[in-house]
Structure 1
Amino acid sequence: MTPPETLDEALRRAAAAPTLVVACDYDGTLAPFVDDPTSAVPAPGAADALARLADLPRTTVALLSGRNRAALCEVSGAGAPVVLVGSHGSEWEGGFDSPLDDDEVALLERVRSELEDIVSRTPGAHVETKPTAAVLHVRPVPDPAARDRAQSEAMAGPAALDGVFVTEGKNVVEIAVREASKGAAIEKMVEQTGAEVALFIGDDVTDERGFTRLRPQDVGIKVGEGETAAAHRVADIPAVVELLDTLADLRS
């Protein structure tokens, strides 16, 4: 039986691909989690590593985040040639495929209102409004029991409405009225570029939708602990930066 491919072997194979897509989650992968999402700047060396890769021929580098695209651009400081994809893969540079219809607008407003009701009873929680979703954030809530209760109420209430698409992550529940996934976004980039290999790095349960859509020749890398569909794992954000630097060195 052939032994599983090591991470070093996978990186060397990806580096040798004629055309390569490198997609990274942002929070928890390139930037540490903080209570104030607007202050989650990239870890030391992360931006430089991405820029090095993005400047290489036939290499597409993307930040693929649950944040809305404008917030991702502002907090990461990244821009062309790095591709910024927001709202779990549904928001690209050109915006969305089509505006929300009246039913979607009404549903989104109901979701937002019900989440705001939960927030009113949960000090520290807040609701983020995106173009196609509303998001409950409970990370800043000081009481762990209150955090769990708010997240459970969101899952039992607005997240259970007909016509919504739910992404539950670490201390966050995103409820969208348009379906999106990081896996579909990676597939779109692969199709557009003709990449022989895609490499995707992520840390959260929301990134599993990306890992499960990778092809056999692609490379999935999980950051930190927890069950995963990714074939490889690194310990933390500094290890991600080191990995990206190594990939840039190998591909240069």
Structure 2
Amino acid sequence: MAEPELDPDQLDPALSAALDRLGEAGTLLVALDFDGVLAPIVPVPSDARPLPDSADAVRELAGAPGTTVVLLSGRGLTDLGTVSGFAEPVRMVGSHGGEYGPGLTDGDGSLLSPAQQDLKEKLTLALVDLVEGEIGVTLEHKPAGVAVHVRNAAPEVGTRVLDAVRAGPGTWEGVDSTEGKAVIDLAVLQVSKGAAVDTLRQRLGADAVFFAGDDVTDESVFTRLRPGDVGVKVGEGDTAAEHRVVDPEAVTGVLRALARVRP
């Protein structure tokens, strides 16, 4: 049974005070990872859905004056839109910053050159061969690369496959490797969520940033936050974030509290 959501009035006092200060920001960027933050982690990634109360809070925040909400995920942009169920004014950045959705770019969101597209095709073929016959291992094909998931594989299988990825395609020139929880994301361009938040801050003219994430890939954001920003780590693990909550259910209370203080 899921834990009850965290009531805004029951937040850690330091986090509550930090959120109150965000209520005074003229322009606020609310950037949110999806899996493990808005949606609980599930065995089949395509089955992930945001918690209903968190989804309501996201939509409320997206409608608040001076507030832009952006989902920032390692998922491909199309996949992120499908599983999240959100539409404008909620905006999206996929592939760890490799794809910018409507409202965030004047182009089609793709950042690949012809040479990078060729490299991606070679990378895909190599990974298909590498994981063939490995039970429980899946490939997630993205516009900027391929992610190798071992969450549903036996531990010895996952270790063997990820080691082979690290020693093989992960070492190729032009391939950027990002490790997460039971996944290695290989992209043919260098991207990070931290760089994406920097870009979004500049494009939107944000006075402050709120970011919530649960994975090691989210640390690139936490380490770049500035005074006046608020970072919330979801779950266990070392982090550079100043604040922490236990799970996606607790995120609901945080988002409700933030929505309450926005004008």
Q: Same fold (TM over 0.5)?
A: yes
Match of 1:122 in 2: 134
Partner of 1:184: 195
Deviation at 1:30, TM superposition (A): 0.7
SS where residue 179 of structure 1 aligns?
A: coil
Distance in 2 between the 1:179 and 1:99 partners? Answer: 11
Helix, strand or coil: the match of 1:32?
Answer: coil
Q: 2:108 and 2:250 mapped to 1: Cα distance?
A: 32
The counterpart of 1:100, out of the listed 99, 106, 113, is 113
1:9-68 C-alpha deviation (Å, 9 max, x unpaired): 111111221111100000011111112111101113111010000100000101000011
Match of 1:227, SS state, is coil
**TM-score under structure 2 length normalisation:** 0.89
Secondary structure class of the residue paired with 1:75:
helix
Task: Verify the 8 A CA contact 1:137 1:172 in the aligned structure 2.
Answer: yes
**1:178-232 deviation digits (Å, cap 9, x = unpaired):** 1111112111221122221101100000111111121122111100110111111
Residue 45 of structure 1: SS of its match in structure 2? helix
Q: Does 1:31 align with 2:42?
A: no
**Unaligned ranges ≥5, structure 1:** none
1:45-102 deviation digits (Å, cap 9, x = unpaired): 111010000100000101000011110001100010011111111201243354422x
CA positional deviation for 1:121 = 3.5
Mapped to 2, the partners of 1:104 and 1:237 lie a distance apart of 36
The TM-score, its normalising length taken from structure 1, stands at 0.93
SS of 1:88's equivalent in the other structure is helix
CA contact (8 A) 1:211 1:220 kept: yes
- What is the CA–CA distance in structure 2 between the aligned matches of 1:149 and 1:209, rounded to whole Å? 27
SS of the residue corresponding to residue 134 of structure 1 reads strand
Paired position in structure 1 for 2:162 = 151
Report if the CA contact (8 A) 1:12-1:247 is conserved. Answer: yes
Distance 1:165 1:198 in 2: 26
3-state SS of paired residue (1:198): strand
Do the aligned residues in 2 keep the contact of 1:112 with 1:127 (CA within 8 Å)?
no
State whether residues 65 and 87 of structure 1, in contact with CA within 8 Å, keep that contact through their aligned partners in structure 2. Answer: yes
Aligned residues: 246
- CA gap of 1:211–1:95, structure 2 versus 1, over 3 A, is farther
Instruction: State whether structure 2 residue 56 is matched by structure 1 residue 48.
Output: yes
1:132 aligns with 2:163: no
Note if 1:79 corresponds to 2:118: no
Amino acid of the residue matched to residue 148 of structure 2? L
Which segment drifts farther, 70-79 or 208-217? 208-217
Contact 1:138–1:147 (CA under 8 A) maintained in structure 2: yes
Instruction: Give the conservation status (yes or no) of the 8 Å contact 1:88–1:182.
Output: yes
Percent of residue pairs identical: 47
> How far apart, CA to CA, are the structure 1 residues paired with 2:109 and 2:60?
29
Instruction: Report which structure shows greater RCO (CA 8 Å, sep ≥6).
Output: 2
The answer to whether 1:19 aligns with 2:23 is no
Give per-residue Cα distances to partners, 1:150-177, cap 9 Å, x unaligned. 1111111110111111111001111111
Query: 1:97–1:122: structure 2 CA closer, same or farther, 3 Å change rule?
Result: closer
Q: Hey, what does 1:162 align to over in structure 2?
A: 173
